[in-house]
Amino acid sequence: MSVTVFETKEVQELLKAAANLNGGNGNARFQQVVHRLLGDLFKAIDDLDITPDEVWAGVNYLNKLGQDGEAALLAAGLGLEKYLDIRMDAQDKAVGLDGGTPRTIEGPLYVAGAPVRDGLSKIDLDEDAGAGPLVIRGTVKGTDGKPVANAVVECWHANSNGFYSHFDPTGAQTDFNLRGAVKTGADGKYEFRTLMPVGYGCPPQGATQQLLDGLGRHGNRPAHVHFFVTSGDHRKLTTQFNIEGDPLIWDDFAYATREELIPHVVEKTGGAALGLKTDAYKHIEFDFTLTPLLQGRDNQIVQRQRAAAEATATA
């Protein structure tokens, strides 16, 4: 039989005690957030008559999520990361900031420490028989259209199996394969010579896929390439583009696709002269427009736990 206890004095006092609200010590902001989130959970249990069996299934799920190290992946899959983007877009709009390349989610698979090259970096360090060559290049600009010098464009993407180096369960890739960083010169230009990625899929036995299965959802992304673009005089841009033609472009489990982030893929020849593994290659031209600092500061720097590795001398 369904009962309603959330509004009772006993439950409200329990919530305050559990969050140590107004307790005099602890972090006041943390207490405020925990009190609210716990309260929302308690209320949901009341409203939906969530059973003890269901609650304990959820608690056990959190254990599996932690064991699998997939909390950040689940955040992407449940749209939490997209929601943060929607909020940042709205904040930009509220202060009249527009004209930049749209942001989209970072995802959990960045690795800090890629070697920084001037203007151009060839980032396919490991053999990948299943992938053809891809050149990505463009210009980093400000909203005034002028090129930005000394910007650093960082790029990371999956291989032809949909696996990212450093996180590849097969162990087949070195730490910075398909990851790189390029510093722009006075012309603002950057270029990556790499291989065509394939879309990522959640680990099939992992906690994220388990939850998605329960929702009747898939855990796949279209082929895409991630970028950070940083420059001291502009706000950091976190974005990605999708590979045009991928059938999942508008069915991305992480909701990262945006209309402006699907550049044309152009077939070219002349790859041999560029040091690519075949003469025919794919070419993507993609310019980045950075937005100015807000009152002298970059409000786009997001602190989160990220992997890091050290580049070897030859990488």
Query: Rounded to 5 degrees, what angle do the CA atoms 64, 167, 298 make?
Result: 95
Q: How far is the CB of 222 from Fe ion (least distance, A)?
A: 10
Q: How far is the CB of 277 from Fe ion (least distance, A)?
A: 23
Q: Which is nearer to Fe ion, 107 or 188 (CB)?
A: 107
The answer for residues whose C-beta is within 8 angstroms of residue 125's C-beta and 6 or more apart is 174, 176, 177, 178, 315
Q: Which helix (H) or strand (E) segment is 298 a member of?
A: none
Q: Which is nearer to Fe ion, 42 or 164 (CB)?
A: 164
Q: How far is the CB of 172 from Fe ion (least distance, A)?
A: 17
Q: How far is 162 from 165, CA to CA, in rounded Å?
A: 10
Q: In this structure, which amino acid lies at residue 71?
A: A
Q: Which is nearer to Fe ion, 96 or 247 (CB)?
A: 247
Q: How far is the CB of 149 from Fe ion (least distance, A)?
A: 28
Strand-pair partners of 290: 142
Question: Which of the residues 90 through 109 are near Fe ion (CB under 5 A)?
Answer: 107
Q: How far is the CB of 311 from Fe ion (least distance, A)?
A: 20
Q: How many residues bind Fe ion (CB under 5 A)?
A: 1
Q: Which is nearer to Fe ion, 19 or 229 (CB)?
A: 229
Q: How far is 170 from 179, CA to CA, in rounded Å?
A: 18
Lay out the site mask for Fe ion across 106-125 (x = CB under 5 A, - = otherwise). -x------------------
Q: Which is nearer to Fe ion, 19 or 73 (CB)?
A: 73
The answer for residues whose C-beta is within 8 angstroms of residue 211's C-beta and 6 or more apart is 61, 74, 77, 78
Q: Which pair of structure tokens corresponds to residue 142?
A: 């400000």
Q: Which residues sit at the interface with Fe ion, rule CB under 5 A?
A: 107
